[in-house]
Amino acid sequence: MYWAELKRHKIKVYGKESSLFLHNLLTNDIKGLKPYQFNYNLRLTGNGEPLEDFFVYREEDFFIVDTEKDPEELLTEFKKLKLSLKVNFERLDYRHIFVFGEETVPPFSFVKKDNTYKAGNPLRFGVKGVDIFDKNLKTPKGKKLTEKDLEDVRIKNCIPKIGKELRKGFHPLEANILHAFSFEKGCYVGQEAIARVYFRGRTPRTLVSFKIEGDVQENEKIITDGKLIGTVTSVSPDKKHGLGYILRNFAEENKEFNTENGKIIILKECLFKF
């Protein structure tokens, strides 16, 4: 069994208008979540640029927001954003691990037993496995993966990351993460920028996975015949695989393109089916 310890933080969101607060702030359908379900969300600027991403878990009468962002910073921002809404926030000091290959909980649902949460989360690393978090979580048996191992898994499985694929300069729909959005809910911050691109049709660029040859670095330009056609956004620790955005017309498997310091060979377009 393989497992990893994740540097994640938890915020409890509760109160009469907690659902309204999160629904109006994040990109997915919070009001539609049933108890013991969760979904993936982005928080955007007014221009549709990603700021953070979250997993939101719904308990019977409160929510748990799971994030990489500094919890004290997030608490401060949430308290400013709530305005007059009847909603409260509390930091939860939980340890969080991910167990690879386990399928004891159906995808996008979770169970709670003796204050331990276990969630079936195929979005975490693009593979089967479960998130487990609790205040007093015991260390599991098996091999513990390192941060470098996790980055390699993330890149090989096309999982976009805040600050890499999800950042200013790239539209989040170019990452093909339609599972992060509800296109039927009402307004949220950045909704107009998302809807405008979504209802126009396919984005000009798309996220692809590729093999690397040479000393390719993140943020290098992808070039063909002297023309800029894309950007490298992530390079694996072993420098053998990467992710990046490329014009759709060039997103074909086994196609080779030059970068400033090497070459990439496209493996696949990053598409998600869960």
Task: Look at the block and give the residue holding tokens 């070459």.
Answer: 263
The pLDDT, as a whole number, for residue 202 is: 86
Alpha carbon distances (Å) from 14 to 20, 90, 91, 96, 171? 11, 8, 12, 21, 31
Report domain extents, the chain. 2-139
Helix (H) or strand (E) holding 193: helix 191-200
Taking the C-alpha atoms of residue 264 and residue 171, their distance in angstroms, rounded to an integer, is 22
Which pair of structure tokens corresponds to residue 126?
């693009």
Contacts of 1 (CB under 8 A, 6+ apart): 99, 100, 101, 102, 140, 141, 142, 143
- pLDDT greater at residue 274 or residue 59: 59
Report the candidate in 258, 262, 160 with the shortest Cα–Cα distance to residue 209. 160
Hunting for tokens 């994740």 — which residue is that?
A: 6
How far apart (Å, rounded) are the C-alpha atoms in residues 89 and 167? 27
Taking only the tens place, the pLDDT of each residue in 131-183 is: 999 999 999 999 999 999 999 999 999 999 999 999 999 999 999 999 999 99
At 191-249, the pLDDT tens digits run 999 999 999 988 999 999 999 999 999 999 999 999 999 999 999 999 999 999 999 99
Concatenate the DSSP letters of all residues of 214-230 into one string.
ES--TTPEEEETTEEEE
Question: What's the pLDDT tens digit per position in 244-274?
Answer: 999 999 999 999 999 999 999 999 999 987 6
Fold of 2-139: Gyrase A; domain 2 (3.30.1360)
pLDDT value, residue 186: 83
Predicted TM-score of the model (pTM)? 0.95
Q: How many CB atoms lie within 10 A of CB 56?
A: 21
- Confidence (pLDDT) at 201: 86
